[in-house]
Amino acid sequence: MQKIGVFVCWCGSNIAGTVDVEAVSEAMKSVPGVVYSANYQYMCSAAGQKLIADAIHEHHLDGIVVASCSPRMHENTFRKTAEAAGLNPYMVEIANIREQCSWIHKDKEEGTAKAIVLARTAVAKLLHNKPLQAGTSAVTKRALVIGGGIAGIQTALDVADAGYEVDIVEQRPTIGGRMAQLDKTFPTLDCSACILTPKMVEASQNEKINIISYAKVEKVDGFVGNFKATIRKKARFVDETKCTGCSLCMSKCPSKKGKDEFNMEMNNRPAIYIPFAQAIPNVAVIDPEQCLKLKTGKCGLCEKVCTAGAINYKQQDELIEREYGAIVVATGFKPIDPSPLNEYGYADNADVITSLELERLMNAAGPTKGTLLRPSDLQHPHEIVFIQCVGSRCDENTKRGKPYCSKICCMYTAKHAMLIRDKYPDTKVHVFYIDVRTPGKNFDEFYRRAVEQYGVDYIKGMVGKVAKEGDKLMVRGSDLINNQQVEIAADLVVLATAIEPDPTARSIGTMLTASMDTNDFFTEAHAKLRPVESPTAGIFLSGVAQGPKDVPETVAQASAAAAKVIGLLAKDHLVTNPCVAYSNELLCNGCSQCEKVCPYGAITYIEKEVRGPGVREVRRIAQVNPAVCQGCGACTVTCPSGAMDLKGFANKQIMAEVDAICL
């Protein structure tokens, strides 16, 4: 039988005013297991704690119940007291007789009776407590950043700055991401490349940063502090160490039918190409779908002209296995394809374009060298209609778009309108909008400048139809403020298309057991208080992968994620919460139900020889990784056999509490 001590706190008159503390401590003396019971004015004071410590020594107590304020207040205090007195800190239970008793009851008799039940319940639970030890696990001091856009670059730079190694895995042949495709950035109108490319160079030159481009993460095992990733580096058929980026091969390549992804496929590129002039790494890549040599075996021109001898048609995919302590998801976004939204006529009319396509048309390195020409006839457009919220803020039931606001469109549309009016004052610009949302520093001023200074015509209302008539696009919409239908004969229509997570996000989320919402954005550990962490320990979120955001917000979140990564990597060991689930292998069916409800991916299954009374056989059994488990207990209820239990809140402990309350 365990020896339990009960310590009833008066909390001055807070408890003693409505609870007869003497009667409670007296009543506890007759509860089975209790060998010592006392009461004192302030148990949390130094004198009160000494009283507890002395009793632990004197009466050789195995566990203590402190009947006092909420465990949320002083559980840790009394655990430390117990530990200092040589008792396991998890052999402490708190009976909350203040917040949940004395403070809410006025009748002293009633309060006393309830306090006795609460203390008795805590004793009943404590009789089933077991000493628990917090575990530790080592931390690999390297971070993996998935995605090499501005979010991934910023996180990597900050983590590297703190002295830790970072690998950036980027699926495209170059880092830079969406921001590299932008012409100017709001609200200051800096040229995007001018502020991004120095960061790209910085990342490539930082000796702590290792850029693995044209690659994807294929598999991730392990847990916080101890991840192991398998990365597939795709064959680019060009030796990265030899290629100088001279681009001679590009000019000689006879195949010119590849679509230029960087320019939103508005022009063609050779089969061997460097995505753009400032690409990092500045190394060519061969598109195996377009390369004549790889497809037919005939050609080999690039190999002949390459003075560096970098071309290697036999190059194979390479698998890299690396260990990481933390993983940052910075997988970014893509604009949706607006083709299914028939009313805008995107699929049928070359002159209906998306905003990102417009960025390329206005960029000096774009298909028109920065002169705004409409795609169909390369004529200068004189009347341009912008349509906002294309595929954003849609009724979920109609399945015609995204339910969320894409957040960046109001501002970039104002930017586009302003830039066009500035550069081509003869051009009329109309913007159809539902609301204009400008909650950001200097954002509303920016939008008002577009309206007041640049005379952009904002029309509140949606567009019902875009139809080609002659060489014009007839845009029919409603003007809700003037309560009339409007029709505009436009030369160019620009759709502010919704953005959605990169298509790779879902598979990466599954791989990392990081939860996602129904739109495939990664879910944060707490929407308000832990916005850059995934609920899965050791996984951090950077940029649009977590939700739509603009460049400054992305950079802020990227740095915040980096701070969290640095905080993790700075630790030599992680102390793990000992109140975690564990599976009794003699009872486990290996049925895989528990894994399905674990939000952290903490449960795996192994084949193991199980030995017990009359049992010796190989079985499939569940194993909980205590470093990953957060102790919610979802698995324990899913388990039909009761094999899965939770330390600190075990079935027996809770049952004992139930029994004691209902006694």
Chain residues that interact with other proteins, rule: CB under 8 A: 70-72, 96, 98-101, 103-107, 110-111, 113-114, 117-118, 121, 515, 518, 523, 525-526, 535, 579, 586-593, 596-597, 599, 605, 617-620, 630-634, 636-638, 640-642, 646, 649-652, 654-659, 661-663
Judged by beta carbon, residue 125 or residue 208, the one nearer other proteins is 125
Judged by beta carbon, residue 97 or residue 159, the one nearer other proteins is 97
Shortest reach from residue 317's CB to other proteins, in Å: 29
Shortest reach from residue 427's CB to other proteins, in Å: 46
For residue 187, say if its preceding peptide bond is cis, omega within 30 degrees of 0: yes
Place of tokens 């932008």: 182
Shortest reach from residue 558's CB to other proteins, in Å: 23
- 47's CB contacts (< 8 A; 6+ apart) are 40
Phi, psi angles (nearest 5°) of residue 61: -70, 145
Judged by beta carbon, residue 72 or residue 423, the one nearer other proteins is 72
**Cα distances (angstroms) measured from residue 445 to each of 307, 438, 448, 553:** 54, 9, 5, 18
Nearest by Cα to 476 from 344, 375, 340, 358:
344
Shortest reach from residue 626's CB to other proteins, in Å: 15
Judged by beta carbon, residue 96 or residue 174, the one nearer other proteins is 96
Judged by beta carbon, residue 145 or residue 525, the one nearer other proteins is 525
**Cα distances (angstroms) measured from residue 634 to each of 198, 229, 568, 662:** 48, 28, 26, 25
Judged by beta carbon, residue 50 or residue 596, the one nearer other proteins is 596
Shortest reach from residue 638's CB to other proteins, in Å: 6
- 360's CB contacts (< 8 A; 6+ apart) are 181, 183, 262, 263, 264, 266, 366, 367
Residue 658 half-sphere exposure toward CB, CA atoms < 13 A: 7
Shortest reach from residue 68's CB to other proteins, in Å: 13
Shortest reach from residue 224's CB to other proteins, in Å: 15
Judged by beta carbon, residue 35 or residue 73, the one nearer other proteins is 73
Shortest reach from residue 73's CB to other proteins, in Å: 8
- 647's CB contacts (< 8 A; 6+ apart) are 130, 132, 578, 579, 580, 581, 582, 631
Shortest reach from residue 77's CB to other proteins, in Å: 16
Counts of helices then strands in the chain (DSSP H, E): 18, 34
Judged by beta carbon, residue 376 or residue 515, the one nearer other proteins is 515
Q: How far is Cα 224 from Cα 139, in angstroms, rounded to an integer?
A: 8
- 285's CB contacts (< 8 A; 6+ apart) are 173, 214, 236, 237, 238, 272, 273, 274, 275
Nearest by Cα to 28 from 105, 90, 92, 95:
95
Nearest by Cα to 545 from 144, 142, 168, 149:
149
Q: How far is Cα 118 from Cα 260, in angstroms, rounded to an integer?
A: 71
- 102's CB contacts (< 8 A; 6+ apart) are 11, 14, 15, 16, 17, 18, 19, 111, 115
Shortest reach from residue 557's CB to other proteins, in Å: 19
Other beta carbons within 10 angstroms of residue 655's beta carbon come to 13
Judged by beta carbon, residue 171 or residue 589, the one nearer other proteins is 589
Judged by beta carbon, residue 111 or residue 176, the one nearer other proteins is 111
Shortest reach from residue 527's CB to other proteins, in Å: 8
Q: How far is Cα 602 from Cα 605, in angstroms, rounded to an integer?
A: 10
Strands 352-354 and 333-335, how do they pair?
unpaired
Q: How far is Cα 133 from Cα 508, in angstroms, rounded to an integer?
A: 34
Judged by beta carbon, residue 166 or residue 579, the one nearer other proteins is 579
